[in-house]
Amino acid sequence: MLRDGITGDWIGTFIGHKGAVWQARLSSDASLAATGSADFSAKVWDTHTGETIHTLQHAHIVRAVAFPTNPHPTILATGGAEKKLRIFDLSRSTTASPASPLPPGNNSAATNGAAATTPSYEIGPNVHNGTIKSIVWGTDSNILVTAADDKIVRWWDLRSRSPISTFEVDGPIGSCELDINSGAPGILSIAAGKTVYFFDGMETRQLLKSVKTPYEVASVALHAESGRFVTGGSGDTWVRVYDYESEKELDVYKGHHGPIWSVSFSPGGKLYATGSEDGTIKLWKFCSHPYGLWR
């Protein structure tokens, strides 16, 4: 679903997947949406018309999709239970007759019913030892990060197609997000086990700090300007707000009725959203003045 980020109003629904949708991402200009699904495909959608532009077939469940953060929406990275990081060039998709043979894993269904091929290549074959759960692109379009079920976070240079750094976390990875609002190069936030990790952007790959919590964290989002970060739990239903410097818990918010698998700040940082297994997304005000529907 596509909704207004301030009011929560429903804009439209993208229809076409035949399995659970594990992740959704918007391009930097919000003109495209990408989704990864349990139906062994990733889809790219036109956010204005709702039409499917590309269907990218895979050999297993697609858990992660990512556009570059710079205005370059013709490139898409995908990953999942195949344990493969793949880069698709959406600008070079070509239509073929339905009877033409297609390379494995590089085919998609065009909206007119004909088949199409979208060139792709794999980064680092046989490197990942677990399902890729998150892909994050930095301000440098040559650098991206993958977080996988093998409990390893990897930084990749697309020019060499190999890892340039790795970091092993203490538990199963829940979420991995880049706070680009903190200024270049941003801060990378990772939830894993009972720990949240903060890295200095993508290029330096320096661990700024790790914060231990008494509970399992499934998701984390940082708002560097206010010095706060928000976590969602996998073992409880509470949203917690922490002070980044002191690492103290400031607030606990209740309202969800299931694990909170996703937390994300709005670009302006005046509200954040939480997505839960209870089937709801909640928007929470993160400023002292009236905003949107909140007074």
Q: Give pLDDT, residue 203.
A: 67
Q: Give pLDDT, residue 101.
A: 34
Q: Give pLDDT, residue 73.
A: 65
Residue type for position 134? S
Flag whether pLDDT at 243 surpasses 90.
yes
User: Could you read off the pLDDT of 115-168 as tens digits, one per residue?
Assistant: 468 899 999 999 999 999 999 988 788 889 999 999 999 999 999 999 999 999
User: Could you read off the pLDDT of 224-239 as tens digits, one per residue?
Assistant: 888 999 999 998 899 9
Mean pLDDT value across residues 250-278: 92
pLDDT higher at 293 or 2: 2
Q: Give pLDDT, residue 99.
A: 33
Q: Are 145 and 138 in contact (CB under 8 A)?
A: yes
Flag whether pLDDT at 104 surpasses 60.
no
> What is the separation of C-alpha 115 from the centre of its chain, rounded to a whole number of angstroms?
28
Mean pLDDT value across residues 246-275: 92
pLDDT higher at 98 or 40: 40
Asked, as a colleague might, if the bond just before 163 is cis with ω within 30 of 0, I would say no
Length of the chain: 295
Q: What long-range pairs does 279-282 form, CB within 8 A, spacing at least 24?
A: 280/256, 281/3, 281/8, 282/255, 282/256
> CA 32, 156, 39: angle at the middle one, nearest 5?
45
User: What confidence tier does 92 reach under pLDDT thresholds 50, 70, 90?
Assistant: confident
Flag whether pLDDT at 89 surpasses 70.
yes
Q: Are 253 and 262 in contact (CB under 8 A)?
A: no
Q: Give pLDDT, residue 282.
A: 93
Mean pLDDT across the chain: 87
Flag whether pLDDT at 106 surpasses 70.
no
- Mapping DSSP to helix (H, G, I), strand (E, B) and coil, where does residue 91 land? helix
Flag whether pLDDT at 110 surpasses 60.
no
Mean pLDDT value across residues 41-69: 95
Q: How far apart are CA 24 and CA 6, in angstroms?
A: 18
Flag whether pLDDT at 71 surpasses 60.
yes
The closest of 183, 134, 171, 140 to 154, measured between CA atoms, is 134
The closest of 232, 229, 287 to 256, measured between CA atoms, is 232
H or E stretch covering 256: none
Q: Give pLDDT, residue 74.
A: 86
What's the pTM value of the predicted model, to 2 decimals? Answer: 0.85
User: Could you read off the pLDDT of 159-195 as tens digits, one per residue?
Assistant: 999 999 999 999 999 999 888 665 566 889 999 999 9
The rounded radius of gyration (Å) of the Cα atoms in the chain is 19
Q: How far apart are CA 214 and CA 241, in angstroms?
A: 14
Domains and CATH numbers, the chain: 1-168 (2.130.10.10), 172-295 (2.130.10.10)
